Amino acid sequence: MQQIASLQQAFEKYLQARAFNQEPQGLYGPADYIMKSTGKRVRPVLAMLGCQIFGGDLEKGMAVGLAVEVFHNFSLVHDDIMDEAPLRRGKPAVHTVYGLNAGILSGDVMLIYAYKFLLEAGKPEVAAKLVEIFNGVAIEVCEGQQYDVDFETREDVAIPEYIRMIELKTAALIGGALQMGGVAAQGDAESVSALCSFGRSIGIAFQLQDDILDTFGDPAKFGKKVGGDIAQNKKTFLILKAMQLAQGKDRERLAELMSSYPEDEAGKIKEVTALLRQLDIPQWAEALKAKYQAQAYEALQRVKGDEAVKKVLWGLSESLMQRQS
Amino acid sequence: MQQIASLQQAFEKYLQARAFNQEPQGLYGPADYIMKSTGKRVRPVLAMLGCQIFGGDLEKGMAVGLAVEVFHNFSLVHDDIMDEAPLRRGKPAVHTVYGLNAGILSGDVMLIYAYKFLLEAGKPEVAAKLVEIFNGVAIEVCEGQQYDVDFETREDVAIPEYIRMIELKTAALIGGALQMGGVAAQGDAESVSALCSFGRSIGIAFQLQDDILDTFGDPAKFGKKVGGDIAQNKKTFLILKAMQLAQGKDRERLAELMSSYPEDEAGKIKEVTALLRQLDIPQWAEALKAKYQAQAYEALQRVKGDEAVKKVLWGLSESLMQRQS
């Protein structure tokens, strides 16, 4: 994946020239901190590939990528406050280092900067179209976060509702990164739409992978605490499917554990994980993930654009699905 | 002010058709709550007048006005969390009613909706220009909020720094409402710029009036707690000027009181207020307010547009300066 590495490098350089190192430090310091605690820059690379598929200028793809990456990091800052998560990517979360108020306000200004960076991706007519798409995606992300919160205290979440939630919370932005990259390159509408569908399916598969890792991942490689979803009573696909399959006392016990916050959290995590294994939940989750990967592949076929770039994009999506953190 | 009342009514109708009554309720309910706890809709009316001065379509002025009002309310929701303020406009603040997390997330989605509404104010080229101005203003508001926080723990804030802070935190949005109204109407660049200057000067005067009311207002008419700024050790113009004028033991006592959080908060407020009166601070503040009003008047003269609308705008600004809450 030489091409991916070179896109990541180009993006880092682009980002550094626009880093949050201005005054007031109390506002921009936390933004700088999270933006530098790099992740894999998956979303910017997707935006750049989405642009390149249609032969667009890389600068435009990077502008979209920066907007998307800043938005993504804004959402992490605010989500970590709401989830009371002390760590992010194995490092202290923004609010852990800088406090609640700095986390709120720095997140706000990052959201605004996302729009500022987005305007650099094209002439006014294109920019206005990008802002319109971005608004839709950003609203979906907020709605997804709200459903995620709502589901924690609901006992009757159906699997399709869960899938819809992760589509909003995670997949919409993956699809949006590709779509906006394509719009910045002024790709044809049908192909851009197919590219967006590809991203949404990959995004759902990506989140299912995340759910699997959160429970069955290797603690040494996973950036967050393994078992965190179980501890927080998150109704992920794993739990919802298990509730569907479990019988009698197992089912009662699972429901009881997943609606309580016992003092022995480690014991709860261990017991639930064992129950899930017993019900073959890892296999069920892998099968569903594979279904969305197949949908993604089918959508990508419909994109009329540079076949070599499409191949790189498919390779990237496959490597994301095999990741360990 | 018949014209103002009819603009307010038109705006309320416009707002109702776009109200936050959709699902999920946990996300949009808090937004709906604060948007309905009306205020005087000063900013939307300014956007509408800014549009009308140049003969623009009222619909466009309302779209700008809605964007600005939603942004303003977003900032109130997040500021109230950061200031731990339980009340807003005499009613429980959003986070008091719905909790911290709902306050954060609903504020976020309101900020995004502000951009969504803004796009309705014109064709793509105009919309892109509006987003650019809006970004600048929104960033200024966040920076102003950060300086406001920073000043609470700084002992050496100079009066020009304070004025700059309130220009960012409060006046930028007042100026921006008028400016964006003018841009939506495609007014000439010089006049739109003068209109923006008018708004910024009025905004500073408006905040000075707020500072005066916060300390010397009538508790029965003022929506917030009188003396709140003193209790929180806010270095408003009143305190900064008093520190400049006070001598010897008075100065020491003032510095001591304004850096402590004594149990007898009411006693502290009473003592500081008496000291301010003794130093003629209300008169000093009124004089500074008058200076910015004069600057505003001068800027308004430079606007080439509908003289009748300019007169209404001036009348509105004068009434704001005489308000009691």
Q: Show the tokens assigned to A18.
A: 């626009």
- pLDDT cut 90: percent of chain A above it: 86
**B267: helix, coil or strand?**
helix
- Report chain B residues whose CB lies below 8 A from the CB of A121: none
The reported pLDDT for the residue numbered B212 is: 96
Q: What is the mean pLDDT of each run of 10 residues along chain A (325 residues)?
A: 88 93 96 90 97 97 98 97 88 95 98 98 97 98 95 90 97 98 98 98 96 91 82 93 96 94 95 97 97 98 98 94 73
Whether the link from the prior residue into A282 is cis, omega within 30° of 0, is: no
Rounded Cα distance between B55 and B303, Å, is 13
Does the domain at A2-321 match CATH 1.10.600.10? Answer given as yes
| ipTM of the complex, rounded to two decimals | 0.95
Record: contact A128-B124, CB cut-off 8 A = yes
Rounded Cα distance between A63 and B192, Å, is 29
Rounded Cα distance between B277 and B271, Å, is 10
Give which of A28, A132, A59, A184 is closest to B130, Cα–Cα.
A132
**B88: helix, coil or strand?**
strand
Record: contact A24-B150, CB cut-off 8 A = yes
Give which of A197, A194, A216 is closest to A205, Cα–Cα.
A197
Rounded Cα distance between A299 and A319, Å, is 18
DSSP-assigned letters across all residues of B211-240: HHHHHHS-TTT-SS-TTHHHHTT---HHHH
CB atoms < 10 A from the CB of B8, how many? 18
**A234: helix, coil or strand?**
coil
Rg of chain A over Cα atoms, rounded to whole angstroms, equals 20
The helix-helix angle for A189-216 and A42-53 (nearest 10°) equals 160
* Shortest Cα–Cα distance, A134 to chain B (Å): 9
The reported pLDDT for the residue numbered B311 is: 97
Give which of A132, A48, A36, A93 is closest to A224, Cα–Cα.
A93
Give which of A116, A152, A151 is closest to A134, Cα–Cα.
A116
* Shortest Cα–Cα distance, A125 to chain B (Å): 5
Whether the link from the prior residue into B24 is cis, omega within 30° of 0, is: yes
**What's the burial of B314, exposed, middle or buried (CB within 10 Å: 0-12/13-18/19+)?**
middle
The reported pLDDT for the residue numbered A213 is: 95
List chain A domain ranges.
2-321
Rounded Cα distance between A280 and A33, Å, is 40
Give which of B196, B191, B195, B185 is closest to B59, Cα–Cα.
B185
The helix-helix angle for A2-16 and A307-321 (nearest 10°) equals 90
pLDDT tens digits for range B243-294: 999 999 999 999 999 999 999 999 999 999 999 999 999 999 999 999 999 9
Amino acid making up residue B193:
S
Return the CATH architecture of domain B2-123+131-321.
Answer: Orthogonal Bundle (1.10)
**Chain-centre distance for alpha carbon B92:** 19
Q: What is the pLDDT along chain B (325 residues), one digit of tens a residue?
A: 569 999 999 999 999 999 899 999 999 999 999 999 878 899 999 999 999 999 999 999 999 999 999 999 999 999 999 989 888 888 999 999 999 999 999 999 999 999 999 999 999 999 999 999 999 999 999 999 999 999 988 888 999 999 999 999 999 999 999 999 999 999 999 999 999 999 999 999 999 999 999 999 988 877 677 899 999 888 999 999 999 999 999 999 999 999 999 999 999 999 999 999 999 999 999 999 999 999 999 999 999 999 999 999 999 999 988 876 5
Rounded Cα distance between B71 and B109, Å, is 10
Give which of B159, B157, B147 is closest to B241, Cα–Cα.
B159
Nearest chain B residue (CA) to A138: B112
Residues of chain B numbered 61-120 and touching chain A (CB < 8 Å): 78, 81-82, 100-101, 104-105, 107-109, 111-113, 115-116, 119
Going by the DSSP 8-state scheme, the letter that residue B21 receives in this structure is: -
